[in-house]
Structure 1
Amino acid sequence: MQKSFKASLVALLLGASLAATAASNDGQQRVNELLSVDAHYRSAWQSAIKPEQRLPDWVINLSGNGSPMTALEAGHDKYLVGQLCETSDCSKQRLYVAFNWDKSEAYGLLVQIPVGLPEDKSPSRHTDLHWLGEPDDQVKALLEEQLKKDPGWY
């Protein structure tokens, strides 16, 4: 009887420890964690970037600084959406991604602001926007809306 009580107590303490550890994290998946967490995300992202000739490694691997993912709707479809930026220059190199709810398709909007753009020049008028994964107009609008929320975008 005492063994089962001790085992129950150990299990309870272990569970509490795991819960405390999880609570210290924000509990949301980040863009830069997706490919290592789920093979479906990895497969969808590889399909989206397959036709591309040249992409930076951080885009290919989704390995920059990632934001927490958010569930959003475009039309009647749900997407998991987030932002990633190039680690050494977040202000000039950004990627907005959207994965459909069943993780079978991925889309991206790569935003590259020219290096040396003067402060008085609007990034929105001088930026190269590159679409990944052939998004339809609804997904494009969804990702563009995420870009417009950026305080440095005008």
Structure 2
Amino acid sequence: MKYAITLAAVLLLGSGEAALAADTDAQMRLNELLSSHEEYRESWQALIEDESRLPDWILNLSGYAEPMQALEDDGDNYLVGTLCLPENCFNQRLYAAFTWDKAKAYALYVQVPDALPTDKAPSKHATFRWLGEPDAAQKRLLEEQLKRDPNWY
């Protein structure tokens, strides 16, 4: 009985440490990742190295960012965040996901025309650019983040 209680305590502490690590990374913001961990910087560089004509704010992950989220999809874990231009968050934004081991990054760059009338649905007029060759599940994960925006319809 004493062994079972000790084992249960160890398991709870171990899962708590994993949750704490996940929570610590999730408190990061996308615009802080490149300076925080070498692994994130390397995976981002691998993503953008073959891409052309990306704005500097995407290349450098600079701009306005909310805290990232640790998300699970089909058994795979990701650290997911958003980034946008502070002066134009609605029209220029990026949704990015990093694998839990920090080895790969995927992103969705969304552009909405600046002069879009308020009665026009942004989802019908936006352009989408996938970065990092995400598979269908990773695309779905990033699209779900976009659809969470209450102004996206």
Indicate whether the TM-score tops 0.5. yes
SS at match of 1:35: helix
**TM-score, normalization by structure 2:** 0.82
The gaps in structure 2 that reach 5 residues or longer are 1-25
Which residue identity does 2:94 align to in structure 1? L
**Which aligned pairs between 1:30-45 and structure 2 lie closer than 5 A?**
30-45=29-44
Distance 2:44 2:85 in 1: 17
Distance 1:94 1:67 in 2: 12
**TM-score, normalization by structure 1:** 0.81
Partner of 1:78: 77
Shift of 1:50: 1.3
Distance 1:128 1:67 in 2: 22
Offset from partner CA, 1:101-152 (integer Å, 9 cap, x none): 0000000000100110111110000000100100011110000000000011
Which residue identity does 2:129 align to in structure 1? H
Q: Does 1:52 align with 2:51?
A: yes
Distance 1:86 1:42 in 2: 20
Shift of 1:45: 0.6
Partner of 2:150: 151
Partner of 2:140: 141
Shift of 1:88: 1.9
Q: Give 4+ residue runs of structure 1 displaced > 2 Å after superposition.
A: none
Offset from partner CA, 1:85-111 (integer Å, 9 cap, x none): 112211110100000000000000001
Distance 2:50 2:114 in 1: 26
Q: Does 1:28 align with 2:37?
A: no
Shift of 1:55: 0.4
Partner of 1:99: 98
Which residue identity does 2:132 align to in structure 1? G
Offset from partner CA, 1:3-31 (integer Å, 9 cap, x none): xxxxxxxxxxxxxxxxxxxxxxxx81111
Partner of 1:20: none
Partner of 2:124: 125
Identity %, equivalent residues? 59
Greater radius of gyration (CA): 1
Distance 1:88 1:59 in 2: 15
The gaps in structure 1 that reach 5 residues or longer are 1-26
